[in-house]
Amino acid sequence: MSSRRRTGEGADGRQLRATLRVLNEHPAALHERPFPSTVPSRVPSPIEVEVDEAQVWWCRPTVDAVVLGSTQRSHAHHVTPPPLAATVVRRSGGGAVWVRSQAQVWIDVLIPRRWPGWSDDVHHASVWLGERWAATLGRLGLAAEVHRSGVHSDEAGRLVCFAGLGPGEVLVEGRKVVGVSQRRARDGARLQSMAYVGEFPSVTTAAALGPLAEPLGGTAALAGLLDRRAAALPLAEDVLCSTLTEEVLDGLLDGLVDGLSIGQSDNRSDNRSGNRSGNRSDGLGGGAIPGDGVHRYSGAPHGHFRQDPAHR
């Protein structure tokens, strides 16, 4: 595990710290990771200073797995993942997701309740994270759209995450490219997000779900539906993750230090260099394109979406 960090100061003078951690673990371990302690840490100094910390986790699964939503636990025995792949049930809701090493960018954001700008509105929090993704894609040349209304889902969407659409999820050219979910607990919120890069695993996902796809016409029909509704991003994993984590770390400090609640649209011009209290300690450079207050983020054409090779 490695980490990068940025620091700042809240409106009340309390020290803030946003930390990026890179986690290479089994998918089950990634989903079961406990929320970080909310007991404020102390910075060694002549006068002890309390520090509140938010964390950004870049989750890199070490094995392939089918990850089911919390409501799908009773269907786990029907899942038939490929050899050596695991079946995992996460604590957050939503449909099934296929994860594979370096085949997706999986970013979770953990926000303690003590964090300035904390909001109990789960809808706003999801949209806030979706905006960070959309701004990132705009910087990388893809025009993205954030879904801001409620859950749009049918039987396929309840079965597979990328077949439905929920608050904060991101589309490019009308197809879903980023899935978002979240868990709320006494200590805070864990916002979870993921996008595939390179090839979209439509056939692999459908085949792993096996008999669960029968009500939808079978695995071939489900794979075809997934290719119509969702896509992978034509971006390299490291480039996307580096740009995204910069955007999220900026958003955690900039928006909250300025008194904005998590999830509220940021209509400001890109004046981050003048608003930041504190300093960067990770050496990442540059600001990010702010949201336009609506839901579309522009970018020059970057590439074409690609399907699962087995489904061409």
Q: What is the pTM of this model?
A: 0.80
DSSP 98: E
Enter the tokens of residue 312: 């061409």
> Other CB atoms closer than 10 Å to residue 12's CB: what's the count?
6
Calculate mean pLDDT across residues 145-169.
Answer: 94
Helix, coil or strand: residue 288: coil
Length of the chain (residues): 312
Query: Closest by alpha carbon to 179, among 162, 199, 155?
Result: 162
CATH of domain 2-62+99-196+235-289+300-306: 3.30.930
How high is the pLDDT of residue 186? 85
Query: Worst-scoring range by mean pLDDT, 12-16, 31-35, 244-248, 308-312?
Result: 308-312
**Plot region of 168 (φ>0 → left; ψ -120 to 50 → alpha; else → beta):** left
Specify whether the CB–CB gap between 241 and 284 falls below 8 A: no
How high is the pLDDT of residue 299? 54
CA distance 89 to 97: 10
Report the percentage of the chain scoring pLDDT > 90: 53
Query: Does the pLDDT at position 216 exceed 70?
Result: yes
Calculate mean pLDDT across residues 200-214.
Answer: 95
Query: Does the pLDDT at position 182 exceed 50?
Result: yes
Q: Give CA separation, 117 vs 56, 121, 258, in Å.
A: 17, 11, 9
> Other CB atoms closer than 10 Å to residue 140's CB: what's the count?
20
How high is the pLDDT of residue 282? 26
Query: Closest by alpha carbon to 19, among 86, 99, 109?
Result: 109
Report the percentage of the chain scoring pLDDT > 70: 76
How high is the pLDDT of residue 47? 42
How high is the pLDDT of residue 129? 95
How high is the pLDDT of residue 308? 42
More confident site: 134 or 90: 134
How high is the pLDDT of residue 262? 53
Query: Worst-scoring range by mean pLDDT, 58-72, 131-145, 293-307?
Result: 293-307
Mean of pLDDT over the chain: 79
Domains of the chain, residue spans: 2-62+99-196+235-289+300-306
Specify whether the CB–CB gap between 311 and 203 falls below 8 A: yes
Query: Does the pLDDT at position 140 exceed 50?
Result: yes
Query: Worst-scoring range by mean pLDDT, 19-23, 49-53, 212-216?
Result: 49-53
Helix, coil or strand: residue 174: coil
How high is the pLDDT of residue 310? 43
How high is the pLDDT of residue 38? 52
